[in-house]
Amino acid sequence: MAGRKSKFTEKLAERICESLTKGVTLNGAAATAAISVTTLNEWRRKKPAFAAQVTRAIGQSEEGLVEDARKGSDPRVAVMLLERRFRNGWSKGEHHKVEQNSTITTVSPAVLKAFSSVPESVRVARSHSVAAETPEKAE
């Protein structure tokens, strides 16, 4: 059983490369050609000439952004795109990771009111005895 015919054409390859030259990502360029990025990458593996076109288009995109950053009226936009699109060479290398582990316990107002009427020494003694009776949860 033969596979279906490839959608690849030189015209489609040119369209993809035009998008890449403008700074569009591989995902975006694939979408403009109505193909998946998996298909685009498969074509790059199977078609060395197309792979070279794609590489050249990406290089031209970077070159254009550098030129815009140097001569544009607002170079911050081009620099920002360079930092995001070409991380390996242009990113500041900043990584931010935030982790938070917390437990929030809510208590009804009625329980708080009842608890507040008990003297503190009794509350502390009761909380320790309840904690001793409660089996620890396995983590």
| pLDDT score of 123 | 67
State pLDDT tens for residues 90-130.
767 666 687 888 888 888 888 878 877 878 777 677 666 66
| pLDDT score of 1 | 47
Q: Is the pLDDT of residue 73 over 80?
A: no
Which residue type occupies 11? K
Q: How far apart are CA 24 and CA 101, in angstroms?
A: 38
Q: Is the pLDDT of residue 50 over 80?
A: yes
Structure-block tokens of residue 50: 């197309």
| pLDDT score of 47 | 96
State pLDDT tens for residues 12-47.
999 999 999 998 889 999 999 999 999 999 999 999
138 by DSSP, 3-state: which? coil
Alpha-carbon separation of residue 23 from 57, 104, 105 (angstroms): 9, 46, 49
Query: Which bin fits 129, alpha (ψ -120 to 50), beta or left (φ > 0)?
Result: alpha
Alpha-carbon separation of residue 62 from 76, 107, 120 (angstroms): 15, 57, 68
**Chain length of the chain:** 139
